[in-house]
């Protein structure tokens, strides 16, 4: 017997959420790169700071690779509760991070 979470529309929502997460991560990477290049911000995440200092392309690979990996897991898995919670948590975190980037961009422009 099928449950609601087994229906294709539920899977499509998860894929859309995963795609949104990948887009938010790309924006985060671009804003972070911009802020670091021009000395407007300092990276608070020690791992990301280390990656950025080692190689900017590696920084982008990791920043985009993790959400793309999660998107891949969403597409091939049965969309269990752990995957949905992980995706939702990551979306909330990246939305908050994006608002922080917008805030400091406005502060720099003033």
Note the pLDDT tens digit of each residue in 42-71.
888 899 999 999 999 999 999 999 888 888
Mean pLDDT of 64-82: 82
**Averaged over 73-78, what is the pLDDT?**
78
Return d(Cα 94, Cα 18) in angstroms, integer.
12
8 A C-beta contact, residue 63 and residue 28: yes
* Cβ–Cβ under 8 Å, residues 73 and 21: no
What percentage of the chain has pLDDT greater than the value 70? 88
Confidence of residue 77 (pLDDT cuts 50, 70, 90): confident
Given a cut of 50, whether residue 1 has pLDDT beyond it is no
**pLDDT for res 9:** 58
pTM, full prediction: 0.81
Q: Which domain holds residue 41?
A: 4-109
Count of domains forming the chain:
1
22 membership: H or E segment, kind and range: helix 8-37
């Amino acid at each position: 017997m099928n449950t609601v979470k087994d229906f294709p529309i539920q899977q499509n929502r998860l894929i859309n959420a995963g795609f949104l997460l990948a887009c938010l991560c790309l924006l985060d990477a671009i804003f972070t790169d911009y802020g670091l290049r021009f000395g407007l911000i300092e990276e608070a995440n020690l791992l990301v700071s280390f990656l950025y200092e080692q190689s900017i392309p590696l920084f982008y690979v990791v920043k985009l690779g993790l959400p793309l990996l999660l998107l891949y897991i969403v597409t091939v898995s049965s969309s269990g509760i752990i995957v949905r919670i992980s995706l939702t948590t990551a979306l909330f975190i990246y939305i908050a991070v994006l608002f922080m980037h917008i805030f400091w961009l406005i502060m720099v422009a003033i």
